[in-house]
Amino acid sequence: MAKAKRRTQARVRKQGPRAIEIALAALAHDIRTPLTGILALADLLAASDLPERERGWAEAIRGAADHLARLTTLVVDTAKAESTGLVLRDEPFSPRELADAAAGSLTARADGKRLGVDIEIAKTMPARLSGDEVRLRSALENLIDNAVKFTERGSVGFAASSARAGRGRSRLTFTVSDSGIGLTAADLKRLFRPFAQASEEVARRYGGAGLGLVFVKRIAKAMGGDLTVTSKPGRGSTFRLTVAMKDMPPEPERRAPSAKLVKGLRLLCVEDNPYGRIVHSAVLRELGHRVSFVGSG
């Protein structure tokens, strides 16, 4: 009896991580479904006849939705790791596009609070590097969120630059600044402690779990860089995030294949995602087709 019980317990322990992984994968899929619709609708909105400012907002929505959709993959990665260590991805990405997306996110948030914005992205940013773009974007979004949250008046800023790091790597430097509440020397000492806010007053007024900057610094260290801060009470803060990424050759230019557009078709679309039906309907009707939908095969 005792042996059978021990065998059962061992089997449960063995299947536990796998069961968690399956559950999280299903959750990630369910989250991605509406996010895909939001992303597609943002594409349609950005392609419509909008004033420049509103177009910037649509681009920011699209960038944020795309980032959130890609974040869901990290949920599954964490379950597979079965540890507290970071599992960094190594995939090609464009630092220029990443910087532009982060700058757009900052601008959209700052507009909501009527803050000034100062953006400076170096023209020498590499065309392509290899690394974990998703986690790097998460780190930048955290810094951007803090900059806007802790600034009631004045301005916020974002800068991005790059330099050679040797051994086939490039060092990216991102700077997020604000003219907000700032930090004292005592605040700075506790800033990177888990579950610690700069002060009790800040925790009461602005909320938060006190994990964001710990997360950002951890990412920076894992990517061969660091997170540093300079600040003065009442005069704002400047956070500087550095990471090292592998160099990659420029992506070859691709010629889009020519295609003859056929208009006036009667189409039947099979789409179980209601957001997908909206997007497909808008695109296909815009192209001059008549569309009917069914929810399954």
Q: Are 118 and 240 part of one and the same domain? A: yes
Indicate whether 37 and 125 sit together in one domain.
Answer: no
Report the mean per-residue pLDDT for the chain: 79
Average pLDDT over residues 254-278: 76
Same domain, 241 and 123: yes
The two tokens of residue 75 are 């949920």
Statement to judge: residues 126 and 65 lie in one domain: no
The Cα–Cα gap between 279 and 288 comes to 15
- Residue 36 — very low, low, confident or very high, per pLDDT cuts 50/70/90? low
Indicate whether 49 and 145 sit together in one domain: no
pLDDT at 186 over 50: yes
As a whole number of angstroms, the distance between CA 19 and CA 24 comes to 9
Question: First vs last Cα of the chain: how many Å apart?
Answer: 50
**Which pLDDT band, with edges at 50, 70 and 90, does 178 fall under?**
very high
Q: Are 151 and 210 in the same domain?
A: yes
- For 32, 40, 44, 274, 291, the CA distances from 281, given in Å and listed in that order, are 20, 12, 11, 11, 7
Q: CA-to-CA distance for 213 and 210, rounded, in angstroms? A: 7
Name the packing angle between helices 95-112 and 133-149 (round to 10°). Answer: 20
Give yes or no: residues 102 and 231 share one domain: yes
Asked if 101 contacts 140 with a C-beta cutoff of 8 angstroms, the reply is: no
Q: Is residue 147 part of a domain?
A: yes
Query: Could you say which of 58, 87, 116 is where a domain stops?
Result: 87
Residue type, 58: A
Distance, in Å, from the CA atom of 130 to the CA atom of 140, rounded to the nearest integer, reads 17
The label of the residue with tokens 């810094």 reads 143
- pLDDT tens-digit profile of 38-93? 777 777 777 778 888 888 888 888 777 777 777 776 665 555 555 445 678 899 99
Do residues 147 and 136 both lie within one domain? yes
Phi/psi of residue 27, nearest 5 degrees: -65, -45
> How many residues are recorded in the chain?
297
So what's the pLDDT on residue 257?
62
User: How far, in Å, CA of 237 to CA of 153, rounded?
Assistant: 14
Band of pLDDT at residue 111, cut at 50, 70 and 90 = confident
Report yes or no on 293 lying in a domain. Answer: yes
Per-residue model confidence (pLDDT) at position 49: 80
> Are the C-beta atoms of 210 and 199 separated by less than 8 Å?
no
94 occurs within a structural domain: yes
Residues 184 and 268 in one domain: no
**How far apart are the C-alpha atoms of 52 and 137, rounded to whole Å?**
24
Is the domain of 159 the same as that of 185? Answer: yes
d(CA 107, CA 60): 9
pLDDT of residue 210: 45
Answer yes or no: is 2 within a domain: no
Domain that holds residue 273: 262-297
Residue that is written with structure tokens 């948030």 in the block? 109
- Report the percent of the chain where pLDDT is more than 70: 74
CATH number for 200: 3.30.565.10
Give the count of domains, the chain: 3
CATH number of 36's domain: 1.10.287
151 and 273 share one domain: no
* Residue 67: predicted pLDDT: 74
Strands (E), 136-295: 155-166, 169-178, 226-232, 236-247, 266-270, 290-294
- Is residue 149 domain-resident? yes
254 domain residue, yes or no:
no
Q: Which of 9-13, 139-143, 158-162 has the lowest mean pLDDT?
A: 9-13
Residue 6 resides in a domain: no
Look at residues 59, 87, 115 and tell me which one is the last residue of a structural domain. Answer: 87
Does residue 199 sit in the same domain as residue 107? yes
236 lies in a domain?
Answer: yes
Given this model, what pLDDT does residue 68 score?
77
